[in-house]
Structure 1
């Protein structure tokens, strides 16, 4: 018995030893396979969607095709945007820096004047930014270093850096502006309004360290006819696409959970580079634009001053100036052409990426922009076609148009019709008030699905004659996005509003027809 017991113990020990060896071997095998796998991205702990292209360098058009499942992107591929070398060969009214230097009559060939605005809070990159700006092939006009609401020790550090730079190089062009109050993201653009004498304004986050040719490239492109009235940058974002399953739009931060969600361009974690000029829905981290366009940001009061200046700027530029937002290409082999030479800084965000309140605020903002006529890249790449858009300037008009709206959406003959109600946002004629009047839940205003489109004219602080312009540009965007067969309004609406609707429906030779109906004919 004792012998059997001893033999059993020896057998158990051999079993345990064999199991340990097997486990060790399996773990070793798994580690080797993981490290050798072409699809494993150990740096970021994620596996890019679409394994076959996760390690491939993609063009922006291919990114849209894979990431957003857009068959219409293929038509965009035909419009080849010029790469960086081609851009510099485009005709620009600004001479090259070498031309100005070598010209015997340099007074006739003035270089563009650029005021650079650096916004700093805590990050210690100011010295590197100033050094790179000093090395620019096109000299800057002025540099304003801003410190709003920074901790005292950080503010003192920024001041010392600026004073040392100015004193050491006897350069009065660099100034330091500070405030105990945090004017946040819009404050730098408010300061930019005072850039007298500058042709352009270049606003940069503290995570952007530009290459030595960046100002030269930006000014050259801005001096071409194609991009003269545009905002230019180095990083941009495409906002979410409509989900086919339920016709809603996902949160802009659900990149890894929804193939229709937004995308950064360029995006280093996916090895997505930009080799041509790409139009985006908003620019991130840096903004280069004509000094005279800065005021466009404040035509309408932003929905919040806590965040979202990037989207609000692109929205207002498109809405009131017909200006687009574009990301410029870079030469991967020449860091001097890069807008951010230290890429790891520009993709680390501690506010919009982690704060639920910020994400919620930005989601609400971009949805309101889309619902009020912002033509996003989704709208440009996916032309819609709806049956009708009904416009109501007041709640009384909502009440009058309600029976017609219900009839459009009833699908009585078995044919599915699509009709949306557009409200002005003037005098309490908002999405929420209209939903209550129609007996719909107020959630329709928040679910990011087209039902009631609110131009938000009243919430934007627009008053007086500017209301009519706001109605026109908002409806113009909605017509361009949805291509309704008819735009319906009451014939007793204000005559100037009627003219705004007529211009919006008839612009660009579109097929939308404006139909003005007597109130008595639709209120039955």
Structure 2
């Protein structure tokens, strides 16, 4: 097998869980285990009980946000872990793509990421939502691309979870920030970078997300979070920057 455990994430996209599981089972390289973290969606009719009976599941009767699945992933027994957002359906060669990329670019991998593009001093208190280029399924890259942070499907070595949890998040960031945090922690403690494996436009089977533009947004923790969610994400971004998170563009700043 591939020495990979997949962690799925349940919330309100009940039917998408079935599609995700099928996509995982159809990978060109088989995975060792599939586990499910389930945040209670507020309505039992939105819970996919069938899939919970089929694969190992941890069910929270409250919504613990986006961070808890990274704690659940500590139960994996494989070298690698791949965590999926609930709107992320991978192509059949995604796991293979990640394993191949790890051989040449050992670091945090994902199906989407961003690289910031303005000088660091001006960006210290700027908006998280501005001044970056995306790469991955929604902005294809033919070659491996270094980015500042990653998202939607994270592929990494299980041992790196100890670094993820070395600094604990403020509870006010329950529904955001895990993506930036992981990239920053690996940079700070292990000197590892974040990368997007190749997402060639002519081979979607290598992509980590095939239907992100269709499934993203609706029923997400993001859209159903507090009205000032954008402000909260900006605060988190700037906290990480002020704490020492180095962006790629910083390397060119004297």
Q: What's the TM-score once normalised by structure 1's chain length?
A: 0.44
Partner residue in 2 for 1:209? 89
Residue 247 of structure 2 corresponds to residue 367 of structure 1:
no
Partner residue in 2 for 1:140? 31
State the Cα deviation string for residues 440-467 of structure 1 (Å, max 9, x = none). Answer: xxxxxxxxxxxxxxxxxxxxxxxxxxxx
Q: 1:193 to 1:247 in 2, by over 3 A?
A: closer
Match runs of 1:221-370 below 5 Å: 221-222=101-102, 224=103, 226-228=104-106, 230-239=107-116, 241-242=118-119, 249-253=125-129, 255=130, 261-266=131-136, 268=138, 272-304=139-171, 305-306=173-174, 307-345=176-214, 347-348=216-217, 350=220, 352=222, 356-370=227-241
State the Cα deviation string for residues 4-54 of structure 1 (Å, max 9, x = none). Answer: xxxxxxxxxxxxxxxxxxxxxxxxxxxxxxxxxxxxxxxxxxxxxxxxxxx
Cα distance between partner residues in 1 of 2:120 and 2:60: 44
Task: Work out whether residues 232 and 327 of structure 1, in 8 Å CA contact, stay in contact via their aligned partners in 2.
Answer: yes
Partner residue in 2 for 1:117? 7
Cα distance between partner residues in 2 of 1:247 and 1:212: 38
Larger radius of gyration, structure 1 or 2?
1
Higher strand share: 2
Task: Work out whether residues 237 and 281 of structure 1, in 8 Å CA contact, stay in contact via their aligned partners in 2.
Answer: yes
Task: Work out whether residues 140 and 200 of structure 2, in 8 Å CA contact, stay in contact via their aligned partners in 1.
Answer: no
- What is the Cα deviation at residue 325 of structure 1? 0.8
CA RMSD of aligned residues (A): 2.3
Match runs of 1:57-206 below 5 Å: 111-123=1-13, 124-150=15-41, 151-155=43-47, 158-163=48-53, 166=54, 174-196=55-77, 198-206=78-86
The one of the two structures with greater contact order (alpha-carbon pairs below 8 A, sep at least 6) is 2
- What is the Cα deviation at residue 250 of structure 1? 2.4
Task: Work out whether residues 40 and 63 of structure 2, in 8 Å CA contact, stay in contact via their aligned partners in 1.
Answer: yes
Cα distance between partner residues in 2 of 1:347 and 1:160: 23
- What is the Cα deviation at residue 190 of structure 1? 0.2
Partner residue in 1 for 2:253? 383
Task: Work out whether residues 23 and 90 of structure 2, in 8 Å CA contact, stay in contact via their aligned partners in 1.
Answer: yes
SS at match of 1:127: helix
Task: Work out whether residues 210 and 339 of structure 1, in 8 Å CA contact, stay in contact via their aligned partners in 2.
Answer: yes
Q: 1:370 to 1:292 in 2, by over 3 A?
A: same
Q: 1:227 to 1:267 in 2, by over 3 A?
A: closer
